[in-house]
Amino acid sequence: MLRRYCAWVRSHPAWLRIPVFVIPFLLLWLLLDSGFGLPDWVSTLVLYLIVVPAFGGWGRWVHGHMYPYRALGLSLSQGFRQEVAIGLICGVAGVFIPLLLEGWLGWLEWTSMAPKAFLTALANAVATAAAVGFAEELLFRGWLFEELRCDYKGWLAGVVTTAVFTAVHQWGAQTFGLILVGTILVRAKVLTGECLGLPIGLHAGWVFAISLVNIAGLLSYTSAVPSWVTGVGDNLLAGIVGWWILLLTWAGIEYWFCWRKKIRYVC
């Protein structure tokens, strides 16, 4: 029965395969969120523990991958760990460097807090970054991107993946920033040989830095410049400074990994 079902799913195009996988988990999320009255973090943890193994089962039974998580871009290799570390450094720096610059220019003021409260905020930021960075990259740049590439060209799969990633997040002034983030993360996977190390690191680094600032309340913006410069609603993704940092990050990734590939494969 399972083999027949998997063969039926495999024989259909991506626009049908994707809902077949996603809809049951959306229904489960709605059930956990409204039917049991569980705290948000418990519902998220339960869903996390079910969905992540499901990616492996889907890759093995539907697509016949011997190593399904490797096919999505995960690895335990030293190169993978190095790319996660590089992404973390770039992601955290990409948030704090513009904030430090804005503080120096007088566009924001830094605030202090008790060490114990800061450590609590730090722990929350680390947990949030690890969970979001891993789960969203496995879902979007891992499973969704690869599922689309089974049927469509890589550039179209990347565009659709970025569009879906943007759509499921909060729209508004940060929409353009989300499009940049999604595009950068797709390119980060493609440029590193279909590996999720750099995208996970970048995503986790951004989430960690932004979460730490928000949870700890480390700063407050002045009215020295309009909010569309620093970020509408104190959101770095919704302002020119954040967009420029993302564009510089994108350019740096393109230059470094294209240059490194050229040295590695041509010389």
Spans of all domains in the chain: 1-72, 74-266
Distances (CA, A) of 214 to 63, 165, 172: 41, 22, 19
**What phi and psi values does residue 101 have, to the nearest 5 degrees?**
-65, -45
Q: How far apart (Å, rounded) are the C-alpha atoms in residues 30 and 164?
A: 19
Q: What rounded mean pLDDT belongs to the chain?
A: 88
What are the residues whose beta carbons fall under 8 Å from the beta carbon of 52, sequence distance 6 or more?
135, 138
Distances (CA, A) of 151 to 83, 105, 148: 28, 50, 6
The reported pLDDT for the residue numbered 261 is: 59
Nearest in space to 205 (alpha carbons), one of 95, 82, 120, 73:
95
The reported pLDDT for the residue numbered 267 is: 25
**What phi and psi values does residue 234 have, to the nearest 5 degrees?**
60, 30
Displacement of CA 214 from its chain's centroid (Å): 18
18 near 143, Cβ under 8 Å? no
CA triple 10-145-250, angle to 5 deg: 170
The reported pLDDT for the residue numbered 36 is: 67
| Entry pTM | 0.91
User: With a cut of 50, which residues of the chain have pLDDT below it?
Assistant: 263-267
> How many CA atoms within 13 Å lie on the side-chain side of 54?
14
Q: How far apart (Å, rounded) are the C-alpha atoms in residues 193 and 260?
A: 12
The reported pLDDT for the residue numbered 264 is: 42
